[in-house]
C-alpha cells in the first residue's frame, strides 16, 4: 500500500486511495471517466493520484458515482512519528546525480552514510534538499583509492547496501581473465573497487537496458563476472518505471547482488507491477510553474499543427518535409520527430535536453517543451525538490535521474531482504 503522511495539528495521518484505484479496475473505469461522471476537477483527480487530502464533498461525489461507501475508496490511519533508528540499514551511493535513486532508497527506510557526485550542480542540489546528507563532491577516483572503512567509519562487511549506476564504457578483454583489471580506466572500476573493499551485504546497480547488448553482451558479461568474483550472487531484471507508479515509459536494467555468505539467509524478489499505470493527465494539470526553454517561433507554429498524441505524419507532408530536411529520407517510422504527447499517455523517456529533433517531447496542451518541473513530475520527484545550476543543467540532472518511485519500490524489496538478517 502506498500512502502519504500529513501533519494535522501535530497528529500524523496517512492517507491512501489504493482502494479507489482497485475499485475502478473492477468497474472497468479509468480516471478520466471517473472525473467526468462524478464532476470532480482535474486538480482533485491529481491530488487523489498523489494520496493528498481532498474535500469531503469530492469524496461524496465519487462514492455516489461508484455506488459505494467512503471506506471503500479511502483509508486514513494514524501514524506513529518516525523514529530515527540507530540500527537503521546503512547505504552508500556512488554517482548519485540529483538524488532520484537516493531519495527513493531513503523513503524505503535507509540511512545514507555518504553520496558521491562529481557534477557540481547535482552535488549542490543534493546539499540543498538534504543538508543532513554527507554529500561528497569529488572525482570518485580520488575516493575509491582511500581506506574506505576509515573514510566512512564502517568496518568491512557491515555496510548494508551499496547503490549507484556507473556509466559503463567498453572494457578491455585481456586474455579471458574478465576480472577487475578488465574494467580499469572505466567508471565501473571504482564501483567494483567499493564493492571489493567494503563487502556490503547487498548491492544495487542500475543502468540502461542497452547495457545487456553493449558490445554483443561482453560488457555486461564482464560486469557480472566481476560481481561474482567479488563474492556475490546476482539477480537481474529490466524494469519499466511505468509499471511502478511513474507516468513515464523508462526501462532500466536493475542488478541486485547478495553476498555469498548470506545467500542462504536472504531472499530477494523484484517488486510486483502496479495495477494502475499513471499517465500525464495525473501529473501535468496541476504542476507548479518552473523554468523551461521555449521553441523558436517557426518551430512553435509547426507544433501547433500537430494534434496531441500525433507526430509529423499528422500534418501537411510539405510542411513536415521542410521541417525534417534530411531526416525525411531516412528509413523507419521516425515517430520521435515532431512528436506531441497526449494527456492519456505516459511520457516517453525523459531526456537530458528540453528539445532534440529526433526525440521530441512536446507538451500535450501547449506548443512548447516540458518545463524542468514537469519533467521532474514525470520522474516522480516531489515538488519541493529543488535543482541547482542553469536551466540546461537542471534539465540534465532530471533526465539522468532514476525515477524516485521506481527506486522506492526496489528499495522496499531490498529492505525486506535485509530484515531477514537483522
Catalytic annotation present for 168: yes
CA–CA separation, 158 and 161 (whole Å): 9
300 or 22: which carries more pLDDT confidence? 300
pLDDT for 119 equals: 95
Stronger pLDDT, 9 or 87, i.e. the higher one:
87
CA angle 369, 251, 362 (to 5 degrees): 15
Residues 6+ apart with CB under 8 A from 416: none
Tell me how far apart the 2 most distant CA atoms of the chain are, in Å.
71
Q: Once rounded to an integer, what is the mean pLDDT over residues 212-241?
A: 92
User: In terms of C-beta density within 10 A (0-12 exposed, 13-18 middle, 19 or more buried), how is residue 308 classed?
Assistant: middle
Alpha-carbon distance of 403 to 406, in angstroms, equals 5
Instruction: Determine the Cα–Cα distance for residues 168 and 205; give it in Å rounded to an integer.
Output: 11
- Residue 103 near residue 385, CB atoms below 8 Å: yes
Q: Which of 16, 63, 68, 168 is catalytic?
A: 168
pTM for this structure? 0.82
Per-chain mean pLDDT for the chain = 88
pLDDT tens per residue, range 159-182: 999 999 887 655 544 334 556 666
Bridge-based pairing state of the strands 202-208 and 251-259: antiparallel
CA-wise closest residue to 4 among 302, 382, 389, 368: 382
Kindly tell me if the per-residue pLDDT of 87 is higher than 90. no
| Count of Cβ atoms closer than 10 Å to residue 348 Cβ | 17
Joined grid coordinates for residue 148: 574506505
Q: What is the pLDDT of residue 174?
A: 39
Mean pLDDT of 323-334: 82
More confident residue, 111 or 77: 111
CA distances from 149 to 41, 87, 126, 143 (A): 54, 18, 23, 11
Mean predicted confidence (pLDDT) in 54-60: 86
Question: Could you report the per-residue pLDDT of 239-253, keeping only the tens digit for each?
Answer: 999 999 999 999 999
The H-assigned helical ranges of 130-278 are 140-144, 148-151, 187-198, 218-229
Residue 147 has pLDDT above 90, yes or no: yes
Map out the domains of the chain with their CATH numbers.
4-79 (1.10.260.40), 90-276+402-419 (3.40.50.150), 281-400 (3.90.120.10)
Amino acid at each position: 500500500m502506498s500512502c502519504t503522511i500529513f501533519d494535522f495539528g501535530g497528529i500524523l495521518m496517512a492517507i491512501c486511495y489504493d482502494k479507489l484505484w482497485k475499485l475502478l479496475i473492477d468497474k472497468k473505469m479509468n480516471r478520466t471517466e471517473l472525473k467526468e461522471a462524478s464532476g470532480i476537477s482535474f486538480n482533485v483527480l491529481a491530488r487523489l493520484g498523489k494520496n493528498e487530502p481532498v474535500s469531503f464533498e469530492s469524496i461524496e461525489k465519487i462514492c455516489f458515482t461508484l455506488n459505494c461507501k467512503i471506506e471503500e475508496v479511502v483509508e486514513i490511519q494514524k501514524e506513529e512519528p518516525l523514529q530515527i533508528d540507530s540500527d537503521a540499514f546503512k547505504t552508500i551511493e556512488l554517482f548519485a546525480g540529483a538524488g532520484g535513486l537516493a531519495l527513493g532508497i531513503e523513503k524505503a527506510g535507509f540511512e545514507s552514510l555518504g553520496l558521491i557526485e562529481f557534477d557540481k550542480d547535482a552535488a549542490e542540489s543534493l546539499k540543498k534538499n538534504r543538508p543532513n546528507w554527507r554529500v561528497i563532491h569529488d572525482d570518485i577516483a580520488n575516493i575509491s583509492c582511500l581506506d574506505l572503512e576509515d573514510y566512512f567509519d564502517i568496518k568491512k562487511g557491515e555496510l548494508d547496501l551499496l547503490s549507484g549506476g556507473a556509466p559503463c564504457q567498453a572494457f578491455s578483454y585481456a586474455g579471458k581473465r574478465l576480472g577487475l583489471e578488465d574494467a580499469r580506466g572505466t567508471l565501473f572500476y571504482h564501483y567494483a573497487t567499493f564493492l571489493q573493499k567494503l563487502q556490503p551485504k547487498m548491492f544495487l546497480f542500475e543502468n540502461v537496458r542497452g547495457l545487456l547488448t553493449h558490445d554483443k553482451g561482453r560488457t555486461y558479461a564482464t560486469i557480472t563476472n566481476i560481481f561474482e568474483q567479488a563474492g556475490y550472487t546476482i539477480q537481474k531484471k529490466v524494469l519499466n518505471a511505468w509499471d511502478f507508479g511513474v507516468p513515464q515509459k523508462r526501462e532500466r536494467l536493475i542488478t541486485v547482488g547478495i553476498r555469498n555468505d548470506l545467500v542462504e539467509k536472504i531472499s530477494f524478489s523484484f517488486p510486483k507491477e502496479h495495477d494502475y499505470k499513471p499517465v500525464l493527465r495525473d501529473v501535468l494539470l496541476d504542476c507548479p510553474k518552473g523554468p523551461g526553454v521555449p521553441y523558436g517561433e517557426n518551430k512553435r507554429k509547426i507544433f501547433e499543427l500537430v494534434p496531441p498524441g500525433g507526430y509529423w505524419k499528422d500534418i501537411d507532408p510539405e510542411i513536415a518535409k521542410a521541417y525534417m530536411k534530411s531526416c525525411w529520407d531516412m528509413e523507419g517510422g521516425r515517430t520521435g520527430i515532431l512528436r506531441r504527447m497526449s494527456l492519456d499517455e505516459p511520457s516517453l523517456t525523459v531526456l537530458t535536453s528540453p528539445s532534440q529533433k529526433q526525440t521530441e517531447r512536446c507538451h500535450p496542451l501547449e506548443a512548447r517543451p516540458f518545463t524542468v518541473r514537469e519533467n521532474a513530475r514525470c520522474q516522480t520527484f516531489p515538488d519541493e525538490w529543488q535543482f541547482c545550476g542553469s536551466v540546461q543543467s537542471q534539465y540534465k540532472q532530471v533526465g539522468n535521474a532514476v525515477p524516485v518511485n521506481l527506486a522506492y519500490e526496489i528499495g522496499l524489496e531490498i529492505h525486506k531482504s535485509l530484515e531477514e538478517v537483522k
